[in-house]
A and B are shown apart, each in its own frame.
Chain A
Amino acid sequence: MTAAMVKRGFLHLVLLLGLAISIFPFYWLFVMASNTTGDIFKYPPKLTIGSQLLVNMRNMLDAIDFWGSFLNSLFVAVVTAVLVVFFDSLAAFVFAKFEFPGKKPLFVILLATFMVPAQLSVVPQFVVMAHLGWVGSFKALIIPAMVNAYGIFLARQYAEGAISADLLEAARIDGAGFFRLYWNVAVPVLRPIMSFLGIFTFITMWNDYLWPLIVMTNPQKLTLQVALAQLNSLNATDYSMVMAGTLLAAVPLIIVFLFGARQFIADLAAGAVKG
């Protein structure tokens, strides 16, 4: 019996170690954000939480338009998530439950788009935006991302199994048109996958750095990640202030995420295994 207990203890030890590594950077961030710059530069470094958190936050809010960029990121992430959920689920519904001419080749094209890496198109994408007059505006961030193959593919797999043909048939007999079929039959059933896509899109858009860095040239419309990077490069001297900004930028997303984490992770794993 004791061998098993030792084994179990060892198990937990390793897992807890991994846990500590995963979480420690956040603790460290909090330590740095709540101390003075001098404390951070001290060697050996101070390991405990300080009392300067509010001071550093106030300085940071003076240095950059934090709330402005926060709201910008929020706007972009929410709008994109809503659009993605709508367009992806709609397309997935069609591919899952309907037949129509050209369906197969169209679907193959959909799969093929997975092959295209984003970095290849960064430069010409910028030029396209320039011609459309969208450089520096939120449209440049939202429109290219508002419908994607990954989401359609995932939702289609889900829809195939989840939406019952009988239900569709019954609704159609009642006189439902296409859109009503989607709205009243498909959507309630697709809700779990839609919420997964929504959260996933939100996180992706929130954390996006390269593209907003390139295309949001308007200083009034920076997203949070770009503003944070600016804060970091501008203010190497007031380091604790940079840390306060980093804290405010990273933590809210995590806290919000925790509410839906369990289901999200389950869906993510399931999707990967099927794929």
Chain B
Amino acid sequence: MATTQVPLTTGEPVLVQPGQTTRPKRFREYLPLYVAISPFYIVFAIFGIFPIAFSLYLAFHAWDGIGPMKYVGLGQFRYLLSDGDFWHSILVTLEIWVISTIPMLFFAMIIAVLLNSNVRGRTFYRIAYFIPNITSLVAIAIIFGSVFANSFGLSNAFLQAIGVGQISWLSDPWGIKVAIATMVVWRWTGYNAIIYLAGLQAIPGDVYEAARIDGASAIQTFFRVTVPMMRPIILFTVITSTIGGMQIFAEAQVLVGDTGGPGKAGLTMVLYLYQQAFTNSDFGYGSAIGWGLFVILILFSAINWRLVQGRSGR
């Protein structure tokens, strides 16, 4: 009686040991199971699937949310493809992504490597580096907004002190992008460092031992042994930061407002969606933008996946 043979008559649910086949039971016994997992599917059906389907429907209409909906066929999509502002927002998002993600993952790896060598107070460092990740986005945008201000910011004071001179950060397109990128780097470096650290710690010691015996230097070990073993984790962080980078909203909106600022330099894709859908009251076009955003996201994630996985044939 060590393995479970559940009597059919008790009406109790079926427990199964690994390797045992299930026997067809009465539906009633499965009922509690289905009930238990149903909340997810119900919530997802109403607030996940249906909105997506509805979004596709909306994208074929023009609607301000209040009046009647007007069917416009492919009009919204045609407009999307020819909309300078949409493409501009994609460019802005990508530019910010490049100047934020690459330094961020680089710093994260360095920190992880440093923490991996037996330093004291590792836990303390991990917690301290993680704090930026749980800070309110709005608060960060306000703080950094004042650091990068045109006429009174801390960064300009610093630049002046080292003789470089003032920069009108928030009036200059690249200044704005750098400010937003800085916020992203500040927020996510610690998080990624902790993940890299966990990955490093999962590498068995004998791998390093073998490399040392082979006479590999520290740098060679790093690039030929460590990095390849970390590839799945690096892929994970690249993908998550891609997804995250495509969705930047709060930092940009609080820093430069709904219009995206001078030269629309802070107009990320999601900010543009918000602007068109809710500031311009164009729900149809907002939905079309959402779909455009989705396509770009998939494309870009696929590219990144390919790049990191490389031609290793995995």
The answer on direct contact between A and B (beta carbons under 8 Å) is yes
Chain B residues lying within 8 Å of A258, measured Cβ to Cβ, are 127
Contacts known (A11-B119, A42-B152, A123-B287); A128 close to B40, Cβ less than 8 A: no
List of A residues within 8 angstroms of B147 by Cβ:
25, 28
Given contacts A25-B140, A146-B43, contact A98 B15 (CB under 8 A): yes
Considering the chains assembled together, what is the distance between the CA atoms of A218 and B277 in angstroms?
Answer: 19
A262/B30 in contact, CB under 8 A = no
Contact B12 A125 (CB under 8 A): no
A246 interface contact, C-beta 8 A: yes
Contact B236 A120 (CB under 8 A): no
Q: How many residues of A contact B (CB 8 A)?
A: 97
CB-CB < 8 A to A147: which residues of B?
39-40, 43
* B147 to A, closest residue via Cβ: A28
Is the CB–CB distance between A242 and B142 below 8 Å? yes
Q: Does B219 interact with chain A (Cβ within 8 Å)?
A: no
B77 surroundings in chain A (CB, below 8 A)? none
Complex CA distance for A143 and B107, rounded to whole angstroms: 38
A253–B233 Cα distance when bound, in Å, is 29
CB distance from A15 to the nearest CB of B (A): 6
Q: Does A18 lie within 8 Å of B16, measured CB to CB? A: no
A26 CA / B144 CA spacing, docked (Å): 11
Flag whether A5 is at the interface (Cβ < 8 A): no
Query: Which B residues are in CB contact (< 8 Å) with A203?
Result: 134
Bound Cα distance A254, B131 (Å):
7
A229 to B253 Cα, complex, angstroms: 10
Q: How far is the CB of A1 from chain B (nearest CB, A)?
A: 16
Q: Which of A51-59, A60-68, A165-173 contacts B (4 or more CB under 8 A)?
A: A165-173
A121 contacts B39, C-beta separation under 8 Å = no
Chain B residue nearest to A239 in the complex (CB): B146
Partner among A28, A121, A272 whose Cβ is within 8 Å of the Cβ of B143: A28
Does B308 sit at the interface, judged by CB under 8 A? no
Residue of A nearest to B113 (CB): A11
Residue from A124, A128, A165, A246 whose CB has the most chain B CB atoms within 10 Å: A124
Q: Does A196 count as interface, using CB distance less than 8 angstroms?
A: no
B44-52, B80-88, B94-102, B168-176 - the one binding chain A:
B44-52
Give chain A residues whose Cβ lies under 8 Å from the Cβ of B30: 100-101
How many B residues touch A, CB cutoff 8 Å? 100
Q: Which of the listed residues A19, A243, A253, A262 has the most CB atoms from chain B within 10 Å of its own CB?
A: A19
Choose among B119, B243, B250 the residue that contacts A210 (Cβ–Cβ < 8 A).
B250
The verdict on A123 contacting B55 (CB below 8 Å), with A18-B111, A172-B12, A209-B137 known, is yes
Tell me if B40 and A110 are in contact (CB < 8 A): yes
**Which residue on A lies nearest to B27, using beta carbons?**
A101
Chain B interface secondary structure, helix, strand, loop or mixed? helix
Q: Is A234 an interface residue (CB 8 A)?
A: no
Q: Which residues of B contact A6 (CB under 8 A)?
A: none
Residue B151, interface by CB 8 Å = yes
Quick check: is A113 within 8 A (CB to CB) of the other chain? Answer: yes
* B235 CB to nearest chain A CB (Å): 11
Q: Do B154 and A28 touch (CB < 8 A)?
A: yes
**A273 near B114: Cβ-Cβ < 8 Å:** no
Report if B91 contacts A (CB, 8 A).
no
Q: A194 at interface (Cβ–Cβ under 8 A)? A: no
Known: A15-B125, A110-B40, A128-B51. A98 touches B13 (CB 8 A): yes
A22 and B114 contact, CB distance less than 8 A: no
Q: Mark A130-172, 1 if CB is under 8 A from B, else 0.
A: 1000000000000110111100100000000000010011001
Q: Are B127 and A122 interface neighbours, CB within 8 A?
A: no
Within 8 A of B (CB), among A213-243: 214, 224-225, 228-229, 232-233, 239, 242-243
Closest to A119 in B: B270
Distance between B201 CB and nearest chain A CB, rounded to angstroms: 9
Interface membership of A71, Cβ < 8 A = no
Interface residues of B in 1-45 (CB under 8 A from A): 4, 6, 12-17, 22, 30, 32-34, 36-37, 39-41, 43-44
Q: Given A91-B39, A117-B294, A254-B135 in contact, is the A15-B115 Cβ separation under 8 Å? A: yes
Kindly report which residue of chain A lies nearest to residue B254, judged by CB atoms: A229
Do A100 and B34 have beta carbons less than 8 Å apart?
Answer: yes
List 10 other contacts, CB 8 Å, given A100-B30, A117-B246, A261-B127. Answer: A11-B119, A44-B161, A119-B270, A121-B55, A122-B274, A209-B249, A250-B135, A270-B198, A272-B198, A273-B198
